[in-house]
């Protein structure tokens, strides 16, 4: 599975070229009809990944952002960890008190 993240401090932001390629005004779970507790599930949406790969990560990124496509195993329960806008993909783990 491929997931798009921001690899630079500053925050995730897509260029107008990506919005135009997907013909959407908003990019999130709701706009792609994704029903998931993971609010970042849209980051693995195949048409989004394909659009970014076609346009190129540099041209798909806004100025404050540096997109990166990360590949992880399909069966991983993941989430995006964000530190000051720079993101990493983490695997969900169980925690007991």
Report pLDDT for 35: 96
Q: Which residues pair with 67 in a beta bridge?
A: 6
**Could you tell me where the DSSP H helices lie in the chain?**
16-22, 46-55, 57-60
Local confidence band at 32 (pLDDT 50, 70, 90 cut-offs):
very high
Provide the 10 A C-beta neighbour count for residue 51: 20
pLDDT in tens, 42-87: 999 999 999 999 999 999 999 889 999 999 999 999 999 999 999 9
Phi and psi angles of residue 55, each rounded to the nearest 5 degrees, phi first? -75, -35
Identify the sign of the CA torsion 20, 58, 33, 85: negative
Give the side-chain half-sphere CA count within 13 A for 56. Answer: 2
What is the average pLDDT value for the chain, to the nearest integer? 94
């Amino acid at each position: 599975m491929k997931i798009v993240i921001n690899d630079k401090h500053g925050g995730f932001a897509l260029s107008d070229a990506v919005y135009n390629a997907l013909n959407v005004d908003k990019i999130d779970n709701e706009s792609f009809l994704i029903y998931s507790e993971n609010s970042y599930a849209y980051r693995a949406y195949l048409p989004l990944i394909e659009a970014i790969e076609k346009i190129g990560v540099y041209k798909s990124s806004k100025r404050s952002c540096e997109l990166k496509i990360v590949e992880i195993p399909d069966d991983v329960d993941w989430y995006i960890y964000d530190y000051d806008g720079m993101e990493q993909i983490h695997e969900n783990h169980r925690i007991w008190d």
